[in-house]
Amino acid sequence: MNSPNNISFDKAREQFEKIFCQDSSISGDKFSFDFQKGQSRVKFSIPPLTDSILFESITVIKSHIDNIRIVTFEDGHYSIQALNKNIFNAENITKNFKIDFFSLINSYLEITKEGNFTQEEINVILKIASLFNSDLSFNPTEKLKGLGASVIDGRGCNWDQIAGYKEVKKKIKETILMPLSNPEIYDSITRITRVKPESNRPSAILFEGPPGVGKTTAARIIAGEANIPLVYIPVESIMSKWYGQSSQNLSEIFDLCDIMGGAILFLDEIDSLAGSREQNMFEATRRVLSVLLRKLDGIDSSGKTITIGATNRLTDLDSALISRFDQIIKFPFPEKDERASIFKTYAKHLDEETCLVLAERSEGMSGRNIKDVCEMAERRWARKLIIRNSEVTPPEPDYYRHSIQIWKNSSVTL
């Protein structure tokens, strides 16, 4: 029996159509509202469901309906239902207001109730719909930024930005860029070799090497050459002081990359994010590691995103995590000729002989260290020009030699 507070079917339909039929993302055949066998039912398609939107929806429901319970909470199906005000009432609670989230193949919401909806229940439905229609939820780039990630356009980056590293560049091109450029060839091979065809394209690569050797720059170049976004994730953007939030953040980042149509997901300092379980590990970190393992396994992922982890402490990584990477690419410190080439990049006025001398003196330095030395020489030279009121000229070679010595003697850059 309908309560006097219930809204008639026609008036409810007017409210729904005013919202849904003006929204191209959930209108037309993606939305339906009917009343059959004494039951009201609203159903509409939604973008791929993320943990964040699911929890926001639950918050909206709780803010409007006092007594609710989660009936089902498992991958692909989440169901929330209103309880009777009197829990001892014999009325079947399955007749009450119920919201079902489905995200197995095509994501959609289905809201049902015996009889007509109340205005409060209509408000809940419209507010949940607005979560999926908001600029934030439909703009994965903005959502990623809200989670602390940087979405970088790699266009304009090229391999000239990394001097030397011929073997590293070759491995990257063969392991990552070829599969991205020719997916059909890789997939065709598995169709004729496997009993059950599946992708053999790499989905996770680990860059190992000391800081400053070009791991992040290489990721930008890969994104630029593949013409897909680079999503850069520093550790501090994922880790949260709230229990369980860190693992939720990481899971949502993977989901958003897939919603974007794929990306290069770059996890910097992955050893800090997911260390070895053999060491003492906080429960929150264990949850983050669990999410990472599941995502790299391809579970809950569309396979459109390539994950690149970067570490300078391989031994600190969990063995199960290491096994999830299709290949480990090592970035060593640059050799003498490579260091000379890097000096030439940041000090083009120096002749080759001078660059080789500087390279000899800078053994054990990374490309970033050499850039720091060149910047130090430029700043020291600029101070001299200002004090002497001289015209602008490039720094003399001695300034670079002296800056190398300063860098070696001190960790403070001037």
CB 208 within 8 A of CB 325: no
**C-alpha dihedral sign at 318, 320, 322, 324:** negative
**pTM of the complete model:** 0.65
Same domain, 261 and 165: yes
Query: DSSP assignment, residue 38?
Result: T
Last residue of one domain, picked from the residues 96, 117, 137: 137
Low-confidence residues in the chain, pLDDT < 70:
1-5, 21-29, 84-95, 105, 133-139, 237-245, 274-284, 298-303, 411-414
**What is the structure's pLDDT at 133?**
65
Answer yes or no: is 367 within a domain. Answer: yes
Residue 324, both tokens: 């999830």
The distance between the two most distant Cα atoms of the chain, rounded to a whole number of Å, is 94
Same domain, 29 and 75: yes
| CATH code assigned at 173 | 3.40.50.300
Reduced to 3 states, what is the DSSP secondary structure of residue 128?
helix
Answer yes or no: is 4 within a domain. Answer: no
The type of residue at 298 is: G
For 154-211, what is each residue's pLDDT tens digit?
Answer: 778 888 888 888 899 999 999 999 998 898 898 899 889 998 877 788 889 999 999 9
Rg (CA), the chain: 28
**What is the structure's pLDDT at 276?**
56
Answer yes or no: is 1 within a domain. Answer: no
Instruction: Measure the CA–CA gap between 380 and 221, rounded to whole angstroms.
Output: 32
Last residue of one domain, picked from the residues 112, 137, 162: 137
**C-alpha dihedral sign at 17, 20, 24, 28:** negative
Residues facing residue 82 across a β-bridge? 68
CB 76 within 8 A of CB 58: no
Instruction: Measure the CA–CA gap between 237 and 273, rounded to whole angstroms.
Output: 10
Instruction: Measure the CA–CA gap between 50 and 48, rounded to whole angstroms.
Output: 6
Residue 252, both tokens: 């949502």
